[in-house]
Copies of this chain bind each other. A is one copy, B any other.
Amino acid sequence: MKAPRQSDVARVAGVSQSAVSRVVSGDIDRIPQETQERIRAAVKELGYVPNAAARNLRNKRNRLLGVHTFEAVFPHAREDFYFEFLLGIEERAEEIGYDLVLFTSTGTSDGRRRIYRDGTNRLNLADGTVLLGAATDREELARLWHDGYLFVHIGRREVPGAEIPCIIPDYVSAADRLVTSLAERGHRHFAYLRSGIEQEAYADRRAGYRNAVERLDLQDRSPGFRGEPELTEEWLDELASGPETAVVAENIGLAEHLRTGLAARGLSIPGDLSVAVLEGSGDEPGHRWDCLVIPRKEIGRIAIDALVARVENPDEEPVSQLVACDLVAGETVAAPRVKE
């Protein structure tokens, strides 16, 4: 029960293989209606369907988009990092009639996933690929780019000498707006909680934060603002007795940590200190932080559109896109408390 080929169809329809190819791939300028119908009938009769590998070898598109994540796609929690992205990716792919390949085969024993493994780059099975992952491997990105492979990356990634097209949450603007709104509520003395991880996404948050602080002439004497990622007991003591009324944290983990530290000192949020977070999806379980909302589903959709644009027009220069993030009010920001 072998899958039928174009030549089988051709035999049934009484034409050549090329004619079949022309009809199935839409190059029908010079093929009369009547012949087309005969071929289509044969296609239907035999249940012919194009062979993706062969097509792809001939450098034709397969209406197949890859999704490569550098960690497992379906981790064990629903509030999963990828879930919302995938939602948008699937939704949009379905709308425009593309299938999705999840490149899972690239797993290694250490739990990381690599694109290039024992030599192979499976990705080229797809017409193009969306890459995501907190721990994206720079070297692989660079290599992929140099091989001329079509892809877009969700989240900013910078590789020297390569022009990676990224879909980027606009952290710069969001961080700026978040600080601005705190300032509008009367806060003047800020502290910044900085993650120990160095990543482009954090750099953007920092830039936005710094912009706003300088523009609005606010005060910040925190180590995070100076570039030190410490959240030490000493600093918490200083914070408790200092002039600061608002804290901006780079991520939720840091904010939770802060909450614990403050509680140990008898301080509450937002009663004693307002806290806002530069991360979130708007529906986290647990405490409702004032935060920005990364429109993950939207980003997934945009990534697909950007990828398809590249697939359909490979010569155009790839460009990165910023996606605006809303701010969402939670229960952790209030007017500044006057400290005596």
Q: How many copies does the complex hold?
A: 2
Bound complex: CA A107 to CA B95 (Å): 7
Nearest B residue (CB) for A78: B83
Contacts of A120 in B (CB 8 A): 43, 47-50, 52, 55
Asked if A32 is at the interface of the complex by the 8 Å CB criterion, the answer is no
Q: Which of A103-129 contact B (CB under 8 A)?
A: 103-105, 107, 116, 119-122, 124-125
The residue of chain B having its C-beta at the shortest distance from the C-beta of A150 within the complex is B1
Docked Cα-Cα span, A54 to B104, in Å, equals: 20
Complex CA gap A170/B171 in Å reads 50
Task: Report if A288 contacts B (CB, 8 A).
Answer: no
Range class of the A interface residue count = 35 or more
CB of B57 within 8 A of CB of A119, answer no
Residues of B within 8 A of A148 (CB): 1-3
Q: How far is the CA of A94 from the CA of B1 in the complex (A)?
A: 29
**Are A99 and B122 in contact, with the CB atoms below 8 A?**
yes
Q: Which of B2, B64, B90, B147 contacts A74 (CB 8 A)?
A: B90
In Å, the complex CA distance between A26 and B285 comes to 51
A72 in the interface (beta carbon within 8 A): yes
Cα separation A2 to B146 with both chains bound (whole Å): 9
Q: Is A100 an interface residue (CB 8 A)?
A: yes
Interface presence of A138 (CB below 8 A): no
Contact between chains at A47 and B104 (CB < 8 Å) = no
Is A159 engaged at the interface, CB distance under 8 Å to the other chain? no
The 4 closest A-B pairs by CB, nearest first: A1-B148, A53-B56, A44-B119, A100-B102
Q: List 6 A-B contacts (CB under 8 A).
A: A44-B119, A49-B116, A55-B120, A74-B90, A99-B101, A99-B103
A43-B120, A53-B56, A102-B102 given. 5 additional CB < 8 A pairs? A52-B53, A52-B124, A73-B90, A76-B87, A78-B80
